[in-house]
Amino acid sequence: MPNTISASLMKDRYWASLIHLFQNHWKLKQVFTTKYFDLNEEIVHVQALKRNAAPWSSSEKIMLNLALHLFNERNKFNLSDLDFLDSNNKQLAFEAMKIRFR
């Protein structure tokens, strides 16, 4: 984990949905580091994450893209991509969407 996650970030639905996915998805958890996140400055290094994810599987990229989209809609996501996820990843995706759109 990059830095201590503040209570204010966890109350923010954009941050909370992103953090939920990065804390609970095995592949995203591996890159939830200070190399890609500065929680004190509230910065996500989106392009660096996407470059790092280039060799990942399709489902891992879908989860990354969903996390980034829930955080900021400028990061595009195709909802139909959820069809390619297994039941565990779908459940995690829906949990994050509930957090974001509560």
Residue 11, SS3 per DSSP: helix
* Inside any domain, residue 26: yes
Domain count, the chain: 1
Output the CA angle 29-9-102, nearest 5 degrees.
90
Q: Other C-beta atoms within 10 Å of 92: how many?
A: 19
Range of the domain at 38: 7-100
pLDDT digits (tens, 9 = 90+) for 16-63: 999 999 999 999 999 999 999 999 999 999 999 999 999 999 999 999
* Inside any domain, residue 72: yes
pLDDT digits (tens, 9 = 90+) for 83-96: 999 999 999 999 99
Torsion angle of C-alpha atoms 20, 97, 87, 74, degrees rounded to 10? -90
* Inside any domain, residue 1: no
